[in-house]
């Protein structure tokens, strides 16, 4: 979590707020028996808090809180709907797009069993301060006719895997 806070340029207030929101998300997620819901809630809250942290002005704390709550809720619903096969297809499409696609070329996946589908579109790559090769990406997941869009950044690890930061 410290790396995430540093990545968004967190100060002491931001650090405390994100820690509190992530704790609440963990507690809420623990009430679920669906590991997809837990993962979706946590990932959504982290992405939402990160987006909110980029808000400028006096409402930064509120933007982080709102972003974490909205992201957690959206992530929870997506996680509840995606099964393991869908998540594997999404992960494979994400890895392929980040590793092989030219910037702005989309990779997609589709599961005819439940009509779930999604896409990943990588942006131009760059080298981070720590020397890792990174790419921002946009993604879309459609489950039960509901589309959720998001974006993030992934960096290639020494073992060749991609870590979403």
Question: 0.75 cut: is pTM over it?
Answer: no
11 and 75 assigned to the same domain = yes
Q: For residue 131, what are its two tokens?
A: 């020397």
Asked if residue 12 and residue 76 are part of one domain, the reply reads: yes
Q: Give me the domain span that covers residue 68.
A: 2-81
Q: Are residues 66 and 101 in the same domain?
A: no
What is the spatial distance between Cα 48 and Cα 55, in angstroms, rounded to a whole number?
Answer: 11
**Could you tell me if 55 and 94 lie in one domain?**
no
Say if residues 65 and 52 touch (Cβ distance below 8 Å): yes
- CB-based burial label for 96 (10 Å; 0-12, 13-18, 19+): middle
**Pairwise CA distance, residues 21 & 2, whole Å:** 14
Mean pLDDT by 10 residues, the chain (165 residues): 47 54 51 54 65 60 67 62 81 94 96 91 96 95 87 93 90
Place of tokens 């979590």: 1
pLDDT computed for residue 118 by the predictor? 94
- The tokens describing 162, both together, are 């991609």
Quote the pLDDT of residue 16: 56
Of 28, 55, 81, which residue sits at a domain end?
A: 81
Q: Which residues pair with 120 in a beta bridge?
A: 107, 139
């Amino acid at each position: 979590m410290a790396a995430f806070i540093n990545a968004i340029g967190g100060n002491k207030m931001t650090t405390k707020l994100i820690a509190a929101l992530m704790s609440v998300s963990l507690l809420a997620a623990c009430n679920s028996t669906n590991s997809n819901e837990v993962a979706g809630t946590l990932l959504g809250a982290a992405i939402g808090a990160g987006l909110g942290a980029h808000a400028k002005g006096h409402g930064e704390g509120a933007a982080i809180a709102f972003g974490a709550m909205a992201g957690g809720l959206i992530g929870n619903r997506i996680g509840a709907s995606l099964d393991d096969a869908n998540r594997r297809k999404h992960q494979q499409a994400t890895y392929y797009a980040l590793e092989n696609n030219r910037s702005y070329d989309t990779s997609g996946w589709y599961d005819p069993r439940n009509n779930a589908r999604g896409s990943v579109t990588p942006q131009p790559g760059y080298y981070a301060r720590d020397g890792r090769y990174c790419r921002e990406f946009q993604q879309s997941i459609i489950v039960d006719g509901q589309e959720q869009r998001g974006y993030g950044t992934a960096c290639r690890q020494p073992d060749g895997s991609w870590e979403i930061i």
